[in-house]
Structure 1
Amino acid sequence: MSRTTTEAPILNAQQKKSVRIRWFLVGFLVLGGVVNYLDRSTLSVANTTIAGEFGLDAFQMGLLLSAFSWPYAIANLPAGYLVDKFGPKKMFAFAAGAWSLVSIVSAAANSFGFLYAARVALGIAESPFFTSALKVNERWFNKSERALPVSLVNTGSQIANAIAPPLLTFLLLTMSWRGMFVIVGVLGVVIALVWLRIYRDPTLKEQAMIKGAEAQAKAIASVEKVGWGQLFKYRNTWFMILGAFGIFYTVWVYLTWLPSYLQTARGFSLSDSGWLASLPFLCGIIGVVFGGWLSSKLVKRGVGTVLARKIPIVGGALLAAAAVLPVAYVDSTPLAIVLLSVGYFASQVPIGCLWTLASDIAPSNQVASLGAIQNFGGFIGAAVAPVVTGAVLTATGGSYTLVFLIGGILLLVGALSYGFFVKERPEPASEPVDSVPSH
Structure 2
Amino acid sequence: MAQQSLTPDSLDLGDTARRTSIRIRWVLVALLVIGGVVNYLDRATLSVANTTIVGEFGLNATEMGVLLAAFSWPYAIANLPAGYLVDRFGPKRMYAWAAGLWSLMTMVTAAAHSFGVLYAARVALGVAESPFFTASLKVNERWFNKDERALPISIVNTGSQIANAIAPPILTGLLLTVGWRGMFVAVGALGILVMLVWLRVYRDPTLREQAIIRGEELAEARANEQAKPASWGALFRQRNTYFMILGAFGIFYTVWVYLTWLPSYLQTSRGLSLSETGWLSSLPYLCGILGVLFGGWLSGRLIRRGHSAVVSRKVPIVGGAVLAAAAVLPVAYVHSTPVALTLLSLGYFAAQVPMGCLWTLASDIAESHQVASLGAIQNFGGFLGAAMAPIVTGAILDATGNNYTYVFLVGGALLLLGGMSYLFFVKDRRA
Please confirm whether the aligned pair reaches a TM-score higher than 0.5, indicating the same fold.
yes
Unpaired runs of 5+ residues, structure 2, are: 1-6
Describe the superposition over 1:55-110 as per-residue Cα deviations: whole angstroms up to 9, x where unpaired.
00000000000000000000000000000111000000000000000011100000
- What is the identity, as a one-letter code, of the residue corresponding to 2:111? A
What's the offset of the Cα at 1:46? 0.2
Matched, 1:158 2:161: yes
Q: Which residue of 2 aligns with 1:222?
A: 225
Q: Which residue of 1 aligns with 2:198?
A: 195
Partners of 1:336 and 1:91 in 2: CA distance: 41
Once the two structures are overlaid, the 10-residue window that deviates more, 181-190 or 216-225, is 216-225
Q: Which residue of 2 aligns with 1:423?
A: 427
Is this contact kept in 1: 2:8–2:211, CA < 8 A? no
Q: Which residue of 2 aligns with 1:403?
A: 407
Among 325, 329, 347, the alignment partner of 1:325 is 329
- What is the identity, as a one-letter code, of the residue corresponding to 2:298? L
Alignment of 1:286-365 (within 5 A): 286-365=290-369
Q: Which residue of 2 aligns with 1:172?
A: 175
Q: Which residue of 1 aligns with 2:249?
A: 245
Q: Which residue of 1 aligns with 2:394?
A: 390
TM-score w.r.t. structure 2 length?
0.96
Alignment size in residue pairs: 421
Is this contact kept in 2: 1:307–1:424, CA < 8 A? no
Q: Which residue of 2 aligns with 1:67?
A: 70
Q: Which residue of 1 aligns with 2:23?
A: 20
What's the offset of the Cα at 1:47? 0.2
Partners of 2:284 and 2:274 in 1: CA distance: 17
- What is the identity, as a one-letter code, of the residue corresponding to 2:178? M
Describe the superposition over 1:102-123 as per-residue Cα deviations: whole angstroms up to 9, x where unpaired.
0111000001101000000000
Partners of 2:90 and 2:17 in 1: CA distance: 28
Is this contact kept in 2: 1:146–1:356, CA < 8 A? yes
What's the offset of the Cα at 1:425? 1.7
Q: Which residue of 2 aligns with 1:436?
A: none
Partners of 1:15 and 1:223 in 2: CA distance: 27
Q: Which residue of 2 aligns with 1:44?
A: 47
Q: Which residue of 1 aligns with 2:286?
A: 282
Partners of 2:154 and 2:144 in 1: CA distance: 13
Percent of aligned pairs sharing the same letter? 73
What's the offset of the Cα at 1:175? 0.3
Is this contact kept in 2: 1:151–1:291, CA < 8 A? yes
Partners of 1:371 and 1:247 in 2: CA distance: 15
Partners of 1:81 and 1:208 in 2: CA distance: 25
Alignment of 1:45-194 (within 5 A): 45-194=48-197
Give secondary structure in 2 for the equivalent of 1:328. Answer: helix
Partners of 1:45 and 1:8 in 2: CA distance: 50
Matched, 1:269 2:273: yes
Once the two structures are overlaid, the 10-residue window that deviates more, 227-236 or 78-87, is 227-236
Is this contact kept in 2: 1:161–1:278, CA < 8 A? yes
Is this contact kept in 2: 1:8–1:143, CA < 8 A? no
What's the offset of the Cα at 1:14? 3.6
Q: Which residue of 1 aligns with 2:4?
A: none
What's the offset of the Cα at 1:219? 1.5
Partners of 1:141 and 1:8 in 2: CA distance: 14
Describe the superposition over 1:309-338 as per-residue Cα deviations: whole angstroms up to 9, x where unpaired.
000000000000000000000011100000
Is this contact kept in 1: 2:79–2:379, CA < 8 A? yes
Is this contact kept in 2: 1:58–1:390, CA < 8 A? yes
Partners of 1:422 and 1:73 in 2: CA distance: 21
Is this contact kept in 1: 2:172–2:275, CA < 8 A? yes
Describe the superposition over 1:26-66 as per-residue Cα deviations: whole angstroms up to 9, x where unpaired.
00100000000000000000000000000000000000000
Query: Which contiguous aligned blocks of 4+ residues in structure 1 show a shift greater than 3 angstroms?
Result: 11-14
Give secondary structure in 2 for the equivalent of 1:102. Answer: helix
Unpaired runs of 5+ residues, structure 1, are: 1-6, 427-438
- What is the identity, as a one-letter code, of the residue corresponding to 2:364? D
TM-score w.r.t. structure 1 length?
0.94
CA RMSD of aligned residues (A): 1.4
Describe the superposition over 1:122-160 as per-residue Cα deviations: whole angstroms up to 9, x where unpaired.
000000000000000000000000000000000000000
Q: 1:339 to 1:22 in 2, by over 3 A?
A: same
Q: Which residue of 2 aligns with 1:29?
A: 32
